[in-house]
Structure 1
Amino acid sequence: MEFRLLQYVIQIAAERNFSRAAEKLHIAQPSLSQQLSKLEKELGVLLFKRSTNSVELTHAGSVFVDKAQRIVDMTEQLRREMEDIADLRKGRIVIGSLPMTGTHVLPLVIPAFRAAYPDIEIALVEETSAELEQLTASGGTDVSVLSLPLVEQALTYEPIMEEGLLLAVPSEHRLAARRAGEPVAVEELREESFVLLKKGQGFRDISLRMCRGAGFEPKIAFESGNIETVQSLVAAGLGIAFVPEMVTRQSGQGLAPKYVPLLGAPTRTLVIAYRKGRYLSNAAEAFISTIRRVIGGAESGRSGSGGG
């Protein structure tokens, strides 16, 4: 059995379509079908149920894909380990990030990483929380910057920072007139209309849990895929929203809401996540070390300046 046949079957299973799989594999569809038929004959089992409109895995096919993926992953890990042994200063790292987090964290970390490891190639992948977790679990990224909790059980993580959460309200909102620094209890927001991120975004789940923890389901006025749009809608008087401290707008940065502290000073935990049991290349280890150093230093500096 040739190694490339494992990759063929994995791609067909992923695409559920011979034409798309053939295109991704850069081979002709008839050749792909012929190779699969030859493999099935060699194995003595059907791997796929074919019909006019669909291609579905059989039970044997599911077992085959699971084992084949492990072999492909192990081969890739072996290749990376050999590259690291051959030249510790070279490599490639694929970093996943949420749009909201990437905008504020990666511009601090990537320049420091490049300065220390100029020969390591960096590729960025930006997706929603749900998509990024699945991608990281399947090996599509080496590491990803995410926020807790993680849904995907195949992932493990290292915390990198705790970030405060604030309440964003329109400037004319009753809560905007509170004495500076006076916190708001989430329970007080029961009758308010909320602007939330769309489904699949991790921070949406954080917002929902905060409301449900206070005993109510939030009334959702608007949803957006972008935290900046959320803040603009709040500033325009269309609702209120929870926001991470790092994305707050300063006066003079366009339409800005008012930010009010929350009782209990809730936080979210940002983590660097990767698949359990996966070999971490030297490049990935170096990136994790860099993000700890840079973000940790930025947090210490922020605390120090606040104390003055």
Structure 2
Amino acid sequence: MIDEHEWRSVLQVAEDGTFSAAAKHLYVSQPSLSQCIKKIETELGEHLFDRSQTPLQLTPAGEVYVDKARRIQRLKQEIIKETADLSELRTGHLCIGSSRTRSSCYLTQPIIDFHRSYPGIHLQVCEHSLQELKEDVLAGNVDFALLYEPLPDASFAAIPLLKERTLLAVPMDHPLAKKYGSKQVLPYPTLSFARLHKEPFIRLQSTRRMSRIFSELCQQTQCEPDVVFEANSIIDAAELCTAGLGITLVTDMLVRGWHWRKAPFFFELEEQVPERQLVAAYGRNQHLSHAARSFIALLKR
């Protein structure tokens, strides 16, 4: 019942909620998975899952098993990380949690540099939402994740990386950009958000932090842009802005790091928008490997 194959099977069923979905993720047949779970239940003398509910629910015995199995999983990950340090970065594995935007605009060159320096380290980037990344950190699924302060609680530790500023992106054929000859001016000229009343605007979906910044700016300036589209990511919003759909909010990380086919025109906001502190977050009680620290050092250069 403590065989790795067995506890991984239980964890997968608990995560997916059905035997069929878990079997696909484990690359086994459903009957084989069902037999595995039944064997564990027989040894324990208790059911792990309430099969009368869909999705499957853990029984009290199942909750105990899953809690202990996750502890075993974390211990195994710690053993791998700490023994990998003994190899002096000749071999090992490094998993970084990130969003799509930060993967594209911030991680590309460090990944290349890290691989050139440590070709024996298997490097993986897991792209999830910010909430999922926080869960990944606590579960030990990633060595560290790129998150913003403030972090949820004291179970997280963090290494500061950089501060992000919020900018306005305007299509190059918009009158606000034509005022400067539709050619970017440096330093970025300033523009009040209040000037965007009734202007076509691309906001981010409500679950995104940039959407909250948009709402705060609207309230602060009593301005109501005409929202023509709600994008899922800053990259999507910026590309639609470039195509002329509307104005949007972006970060200076995106401005510097994205491979623009044709960049929009960028403005600094006259309004005060707090900078966001980006950090490398990891579990306070988890070992931060030598490989992870070396990669973070590249990010801080």
**Normalised TM-score (structure 1):** 0.78
Consecutive unaligned residues in structure 2, runs of 5 or more: none
Identity of aligned residues (%): 35
How many angstroms does 1:72 deviate by?
A: 1.6
Check 1:157–1:206 CA distance in 2 against 1; reply closer, same or farther (3 A cut). Answer: farther
1:119 aligns with 2:127: no
1:245 aligns with 2:252: yes
- 2:3 maps to which residue? 3
- What amino acid maps onto 1:291 in structure 2? L
Q: Distance in 1 between matches of 2:200 and 2:60?
A: 48
Q: Distance in 2 between matches of 1:85 and 1:230?
A: 45
- 1:223 maps to which residue? 230
Task: Give the alignment of 1:296-307 within 5 angstroms.
Answer: none
Structure 1 residue matching 2:119: 3-state secondary structure? coil
Check 1:260–1:25 CA distance in 2 against 1; reply closer, same or farther (3 A cut). Answer: closer
1:280 to 277, 288, 299: 288
- 2:298 maps to which residue? 290
1:104 aligns with 2:105: yes
1:120-159 Cα offsets, whole Å, 9 max, x none, are 1211223333333333333332222234455688543222
Check 1:154–1:91 CA distance in 2 against 1; reply closer, same or farther (3 A cut). Answer: same
- 1:306 maps to which residue? none
- When the two chains are superposed, the root-mean-square deviation of aligned CA atoms in Å is 3.4
- Deviates most, 104-113 or 26-35: 26-35
Check 1:33–1:146 CA distance in 2 against 1; reply closer, same or farther (3 A cut). Answer: same
Consecutive unaligned residues in structure 1, runs of 5 or more: 295-308
How many angstroms does 1:65 deviate by?
A: 1.1
Check 1:152–1:29 CA distance in 2 against 1; reply closer, same or farther (3 A cut). Answer: farther
How many angstroms does 1:190 deviate by?
A: 5.5
- What amino acid maps onto 1:18 in structure 2? F
Task: Give the alignment of 1:153-302 within 5 angstroms.
Answer: 155-171=156-172, 173=174, 175-176=176-177, 183-187=190-194, 189=196, 191-198=198-205, 200-211=207-218, 220-248=227-255, 254-263=261-270, 264=272, 266-292=274-300, 294=301
Q: Distance in 2 between matches of 1:217 and 1:65?
A: 49
Q: Contact 1:175–1:260 (CA<8 Å) still a contact in 2?
A: no
1:92-122 Cα offsets, whole Å, 9 max, x none, are 1012222222222212212332233232121
Q: Distance in 1 between matches of 2:241 and 2:127?
A: 25
- 1:16 maps to which residue? 17
How many angstroms does 1:193 deviate by?
A: 4.2
1:68-88 Cα offsets, whole Å, 9 max, x none, are 201221122123322323555
Q: Distance in 1 between matches of 2:175 and 2:149?
A: 32
Q: Contact 1:130–1:200 (CA<8 Å) still a contact in 2?
A: no
**Normalised TM-score (structure 2):** 0.80
Check 1:88–1:182 CA distance in 2 against 1; reply closer, same or farther (3 A cut). Answer: closer
Q: Contact 1:184–1:262 (CA<8 Å) still a contact in 2?
A: yes
- 1:36 maps to which residue? 37
1:273-302 Cα offsets, whole Å, 9 max, x none, are 22332222221122112222x2xxxxxxxx
Q: Contact 1:221–1:239 (CA<8 Å) still a contact in 2?
A: yes
Q: Contact 1:165–1:244 (CA<8 Å) still a contact in 2?
A: yes
- Deviates most, 69-78 or 50-59: 50-59
Structure 2 residue matching 1:248: 3-state secondary structure? helix
1:174-213 Cα offsets, whole Å, 9 max, x none, are 6447787553344554554431234554444444455456
